[in-house]
Structure 1
Amino acid sequence: MKDALKTLTALAVLLAPLPAAAQPLYHLAAVVKLSGATKWDYLKLDKPTGRLFISHGTEELVVNPATRQVVGRLSGLPGSHGVAFDPATGEIWADSATKSVATVFDPHSLAPLASVPVLDDADGMAYDPASRTIFVSGGDGHGLTPINPATRTAYPTVALGSAPEAFAPDGQGNLYVAMVEANEVARVDTRTRQVTARWPTTGCLAPTGLALDEARGRIFVSCRGGSLDVLDERTGRVMVTLPIGKGTDGAAFDPVRQRAFSANGEGTISVIDTRPAVPKLLATLHTEPGARTLAVDPRSGDLFTVTAKVAATIAPATPQGRTHYRFVPGTLALYIYAPTP
């Protein structure tokens, strides 16, 4: 009898249903082929129109994520990097590092309307609602060019002392800038256009990506070496340092799902849960090598990133530098990752 009971118990264990495998937080929903050169930088979603703008070498591509189609181009932008939107008019501003200008485009025809000189090596762009100013960073220019979009003129340069990378306004009159060479975050008063604080990124080197959780007052700074610092927006104190993938060049925040993201050139997106008192790494989403920048749609939760098929890997120039790749011509694509139901 005992042997029979043991046999039945063993069979019951074998026949018991296995626990369901955990579903990934996000899944690949679409791949949109993008013609032209394998060059890109920032991605930015224009929330009122739902259009996605992708820096693409000499132009900004305009994509409708709903139809998965390229619906327009902002042309004449050699060394394209950043884009920003004027909510008062809907006009689109985009920069050219080669020309050292920011150009404003008609939101409907996408025709250029005017250009404003900016700092050397024009890079990221953002609109600050508190001052109604568009800011353009200049890597080699070591500062920011503030632009009055109403008059289409530039204010005096905001000197930062070294090269800036990504930056973001908090809507309350502060702008936070990732300083890649100084290993710090600079805070700028957007009305006086003066630097008001400098805070070291004590947990990571070469900060490039930056995103804000405005409701909780947190700054997420992703660094190329594989770490991310979470700073208190009021004091600049590093709350926690989290592990991420290497080679990041962009960060984003989803206020609806309360998640921060770091796009990592090694081929991952680090997903961070911002709800706890101390944010924590929630998941690692596997993407494709070279996908180092991203944007998020808070309405759908979709994540957007861009890369091309890798032909060869080139070693990074420094221990903190991202890996550089040589890409197969004609393989550039937009990857859309959707939240798993």
Structure 2
Amino acid sequence: MGRGRARGRRQGPLGACALAAVVALVSGCEPPVDFYRPGEGGPDEPVVGLGGPAPYVRPGTERPRAADPPVVPAGGRVYAATGPGMIAPGARSMPARLYVADGRGIEVIDPRTLRQAGRVGAGAAAARVVPSWDMRRLWIADTVHDVLVPVWARTGRRGRPVPAVDPAGLYFTPDGRTALVAAGRPRRIEVRDPRTMRPRASVPLPCAAADGDFTLAGTSLVMSCTSARALVRVDVPGRRVAGTVRLPPGARPGDVRLSPDGGTFFVADAANGGVWAVDARTFAPRGFVRTAPGARGLAISRDARRLFVAGGGTLATVDFRTRRVTARWPLPGGGDAIPGGVSSDGRALWLAGTEGLVYAVSTRTGRVLRRARLRGRPAALCVHPQPGRYSLGGTGLYR
């Protein structure tokens, strides 16, 4: 008994020392694993419930977090983060490239030398090339084989195709949590995971839509239906169509862009040769600006003061404040021109001609600065990366 008590007394100080060491370690050092309360933290983050029986919780068991508030630029300026050279930190190290969908695949071109820097997905019938929300990947929309193909922008490596029926357009909500795929058949918006493109839900549409842009708060996507001469407003959180508006007879709406103050949507109309101004709040047409026959694609200058309207062999510029045409410049070839995006410094607008040309025109004078002839006929053009905090998808949609 005496020896047992003596042994217990000898172990007591050792236990106290061990406890003191643990306390000192916890209080004086950073833990090797981030600690969260049970149910908090992201599903891909290491989670430790203090006092819990296991070091990690099972994926998918975390409590859903409240949705982030709408992402609105400071001062209400829609394009406050898309000025010259304002490329997101994660995309600054990426080489500047032109991605041209020519019906057989994606031709990758160095904009400085106009030499081919690679080719992606030979044989794929690519209709669009869309940057992901974080700009790390490009998504190729193949409407013939009904797939979306991911391509890593830094390496050019192609990923596994994801089934998507007739993916006419691809967009990302400003918070980066949702991808929206515009399907032509059946007519709907597919709500998908932005990274894996796994389907979550779908929103039936009254007409087939492809081109669109988000409202200032990013909660609604306004899309054009060319054959139905209509615009559709999709409530993204509510997953429903919140409104429609029909343009006058004969209109053929195409590309859509939100004005810098967030109050007006400008909609290209190839049939009438100009752009419609649609009130973003009341969703009613507020006028028409005639630019040139065949107006098809839209792009915004780096200073967000001018709207470029391309198509029908002409590039016109419209002043956002006065809503007047300030210049009309002829384009090479005289055919349809597909805008791909404005250069990072804002000095050039890149376009693709359906006759097989890719070229850059001066945003100041309209003079052709560079041009290259391709073997195929371009169906889409994407300039990547471009200034902005994130990509909204589409063609040249950044904020």
Partner of 2:222: 135
Counting only pairs closer than 5 Å after superposition, residues 114-129 of structure 1 correspond to structure 2 as 114-129=201-216
Q: CA deviation at 1:234?
A: 2.3
Q: Specify whether residues 171 and 235 from structure 1 end up closer, same or farther in structure 2 by C-alpha distance, changes over 3 A only.
A: closer
The Cα shift of 1:49 comes to 3.7
Q: Does 1:292 align with 2:379?
A: yes
- Give the AA of the match of 2:174: P
2:276 counterpart (176, 181, 186): 186
Deviation of 1:35 after TM superposition, in Å, equals 4.6
Q: Which amino acid aligns with 1:46?
A: S
In structure 2, distance between residues paired with 1:295 and 1:171: 22
Residue 87 in structure 1 maps to residue 174 in structure 2: yes
The separation in 1 between residues aligned to 2:379 and 2:330, in whole angstroms, is: 16
Note the C-alpha offset of 1:273. Answer: 2.0
Q: Distance in 1 between matches of 2:332 and 2:133?
A: 28
Q: Is the 8 A contact 1:271 1:285 kept in 2?
A: no
Distance 2:238 2:122 in 1: 35
- Aligned match of 1:195: 285
* Structure 2 match to 1:66: 154
Q: Does 1:220 align with 2:308?
A: yes
Q: Distance in 1 between matches of 2:133 and 2:362?
A: 23
Q: Match for residue 349 of structure 2?
A: 260
Q: Does 1:163 align with 2:252?
A: yes
- How many percent identity over aligned positions? 22
Q: Does 1:45 align with 2:131?
A: yes
Q: How far apart, in 1, do the equivalents of 2:373 and 2:345 lie?
A: 19
**Cα RMSD after superposing both structures:** 2.4
Name whichever structure is richer in strand by fraction: 1
CA contact 1:55–1:61 (8 Å) conserved in 2: yes
Is the CA contact 1:266–1:288 (under 8 Å) kept in the aligned structure 2?
no
Per the alignment, residue 163 of structure 2 pairs with 75
Q: 2:114 aligns with which of 15, 23, 26?
A: 26
Equivalent in the alignment of 2:188 = 101
Q: 1:249: how far off? A: 5.2
CA apart distance, 1:256: 2.0
Q: Structure 1 stretches of 5 or more lacking a match?
A: 1-22, 301-341
Aligned residues: 270
Unaligned runs of 5+ in 2: 1-110, 388-399
In structure 2, the CA distance between the partners of 1:249 and 1:122, relative to structure 1 (3 Å rule), is farther
How much has 1:47 moved relative to structure 2? 4.6
Per mean C-alpha deviation after superposition, the further-off stretch among 230-239 and 244-253 is: 244-253
The equivalent position to 2:297 in structure 1, one of 175, 196, 209, is: 209
**Residue 151 (structure 1) aligns with:** 238
2: CA distance, partners of 1:245 / 1:117: 40
In structure 2, the CA distance between the partners of 1:42 and 1:108, relative to structure 1 (3 Å rule), is closer
Instruction: Determine if the alignment matches structure 1 residue 54 to structure 2 residue 140.
Output: yes
* Offset of residue 184 of structure 1: 1.3
AA at the equivalent of 2:240: T
Assess if the C-alpha contact under 8 Å between 2:362 and 2:368 holds in 1: yes
TM-score w.r.t. structure 2 length? Answer: 0.62
How far apart, CA to CA, are the structure 1 residues paired with 2:130 and 2:382?
A: 6
8 Å Cα contact 1:143-1:157 kept in structure 2? yes
Tell me the alpha carbon deviations over residues 114-161 of structure 1, each in whole angstroms, 9 at most, x when there is no partner.
111224232213333345311222111211211121121111112223
Which of 240, 246, 253 is the equivalent residue of 2:327?
240
User: How far does residue 33 in structure 1 lie from its aligned partner after superposition?
Assistant: 2.2
Aligned residue identity for 2:361: I
Post-superposition offset of 1:25: 5.0
Contact 1:270 1:285 in 2 (8 A): yes
* Match among 98, 104, 110 for residue 197 of structure 2: 110
- Mark the CA change 1:292 to 1:235 in structure 2 (over 3 Å): closer, same or farther: farther
Pick which of 84-93 and 95-104 moved more.
84-93
Between the aligned partners of 2:361 and 2:265, the Cα distance in structure 1 is: 22
Q: Higher Cα Rg: structure 1 or 2?
A: 2
CA distance in 2, matches of 1:26, 1:35: 22
Tell me the distance in 2 between the aligned counterparts of 1:35 and 1:69. Answer: 16
